[in-house]
Amino acid sequence: MNYPSALIEEAVNELSKFPGIGKKSALRMVLFLLKQEETEVTKMGEAIIKLRKEIRFCERCNNVSDSQYCNICNNPKRDQQSICVVEDLRDVMAIENTNQFYGTYHVLGGLINPIQGIGPEQLKIESLLKRVKEVEAKEIIMALSANMEGDTTVFYLSRKLQPLQVKISTISRGIAVGGELEYADEITLGRSILGRIPYTTN
Amino acid sequence: MNYPSALIEEAVNELSKFPGIGKKSALRMVLFLLKQEETEVTKMGEAIIKLRKEIRFCERCNNVSDSQYCNICNNPKRDQQSICVVEDLRDVMAIENTNQFYGTYHVLGGLINPIQGIGPEQLKIESLLKRVKEVEAKEIIMALSANMEGDTTVFYLSRKLQPLQVKISTISRGIAVGGELEYADEITLGRSILGRIPYTTN
């Protein structure tokens, strides 16, 4: 497509990098930006830059954080020996919203996905194993998406955790098979945490 | 929703200002940004800021431009006496892609919409009237959306243009090329019958 200005072309190219945003949607976003006050647009641009530049990750659980340890890890009321393993921070937020879990989290940063070239070494698995030993964890709750990548990751983790003799459970399949964790409603997600079942490989 | 970091909350709030982007989509965009390289994210943020800061509008037709007049107004091959009135730059781009129009454009910057508080004085109507007089325009082609706001704007403009004795036309309304008759809505089909044109084989 021919753009009437190099500035527009550049902004469209940048915005269309977002997943699910094509060139047409990006152009609509650009038109929206052109109609806004300059201070508003500058604020948005700076928020994006600042986000990536200043974001920190909890040194214990890999959740995003404003300081060395996240609010959940820092909370003395949270059970450090009960660790809920999740894919990313959206899942932490979703589970926190259920008010059904009083342990701590471990954010893997993804799921094992050989097609996309994501192997166990790209995920925060070593730090999980180290942490399980250190705090003498009593239970690991696998709260991963109910798809092939999630199942593969649970299987891999269970093998790695087996020598540590920790109880492993998965959230119950109250969530529709094939469903994404972030789209589950709070009641279903809360029940699935309460109704977690021991994980077995056979 | 509770966000684990003030940085994330701010970025979600900013990104959800885009039309059609809610908090969940904005959070997905934020997660995407967190996975990108810092230089990439900085580039995106700067493109947004630069776009709004440095964009210029053609002093003749109000189309976006990198200089005082846009490429179309500056092109000596384009007919300055044939002016196509459009809502925004997307329409300019769409018509340019057809390669069927060799006149110039006038970008209104919106349509008359009393519900949203957009009156004629907010649109580039005065500059259109001035321009029609200056270049002694021969034809004004209304290429506005076929909805109430578009029709209102065309009606208002036609009243304003009447004293200037310029030919006014609107783009034809009818069944889309390749469209099935049975799926066309009644109003479109009715208009295409009223606006029928003589059939020629060449």
Within a domain: A67? no
Within a domain: A169? yes
Tell me, what CATH number does A18's domain have?
1.10.8.420
Query: Where does residue B70 rank: exposed (0-12), middle (13-18), buried (19+ CB within 10 A)?
Result: buried
Do B37 and B99 lie in one domain? The reply is no
Distance in angstroms (rounded) separating the CA atoms of residues B71 and B61: 11
Residue A28 sits at the chain B interface (C-beta within 8 Å): yes
Q: Which of A4, A65, A72 sits opposite B71 (nearest CB)?
A: A4
In A, which residues are within 8 Å of B5 by CB distance?
55, 64-66
Do A89 and A18 lie in one domain? The reply is no
- Which chain B residue has the Cα nearest residue A45? B45
Do B161 and B85 lie in one domain? The reply is yes
Distance in angstroms (rounded) separating the CA atoms of residues A13 and B47: 9
Do A134 and A36 lie in one domain? The reply is no
Distance in angstroms (rounded) separating the CA atoms of residues B50 and B31: 24
Within a domain: B185? no
Task: Look at A96 and B2 and tell me if their CB atoms are within 8 Å.
Answer: yes
Alpha carbon of A115: minimum distance to chain B alpha carbons (Å): 18
Is the sign of the CA dihedral A111, B9, B44, A50 positive or negative? Answer: negative
Tell me, what CATH number does A138's domain have?
3.40.1360.10
pLDDT higher than threshold 80 for residue A194 = no
Burial A59-74 (b: 16+ CB within 10 A, else e): ebbbbbbeeeebbbbe
The count of domains in chain A is 2
**CB of B33 within 8 A of CB of A52?**
yes
The size of the A-B interface in CB pairs under 8 A is 171
- Which chain A residue has the Cα nearest residue B23? A90
Q: Which of A31, A48, A63 sits opposite B90 (nearest CB)?
A: A31
In A, which residues are within 8 Å of B30 by CB distance?
51
**ipTM for this prediction:** 0.78
Do B105 and B33 lie in one domain? The reply is no
Per-residue pLDDT of A17-59, as tens digits, reads 999 999 999 999 998 998 899 999 999 999 999 999 998 889 9
Within a domain: B29? yes
| pLDDT, position B50 | 94
Per-residue pLDDT of A166-192, as tens digits, reads 999 988 766 665 667 777 777 778 777
Task: Look at A93 and B2 and tell me if their CB atoms are within 8 Å.
Answer: yes
Candidates B81, B90, B93, B128; CA nearest to B108 is B128
Q: Residue B121 sits in which domain range?
A: 78-171
Token pair listed for A119? 């192997």
Within a domain: A66? no
Cα B23 to Cα A176, B51, B105, B161: the distances in Å are: 23, 24, 37, 45
Q: State percent of chain B over pLDDT 70.
A: 99
* Side-chain-side CA neighbours of residue A115 (13 Å): 3
Cite the beta strand spans of A117-159 per DSSP E: 139-142
**CB of B135 within 8 A of CB of B81?**
yes
Q: Average pLDDT over chain A, rounded to whole?
A: 88
Within a domain: A35? yes
| pLDDT, position B189 | 80
Do A24 and A123 lie in one domain? The reply is no
Distance in angstroms (rounded) separating the CA atoms of residues B161 and B154: 10
Please identify which residue in the block is written with the tokens 């800061």: B53
Residue A130 sits at the chain B interface (C-beta within 8 Å): no
Distance in angstroms (rounded) separating the CA atoms of residues B142 and B134: 19
Within a domain: B93? yes
Confidence of residue B177 (pLDDT cuts 50, 70, 90): confident
Kindly report the pTM of this predicted structure.
0.74
Candidates B2, B5, B10; CA nearest to A93 is B2
Do B45 and B96 lie in one domain? The reply is no
Confidence of residue A128 (pLDDT cuts 50, 70, 90): very high
**B33-40 mean pLDDT:** 91
**B79-106 mean pLDDT:** 90
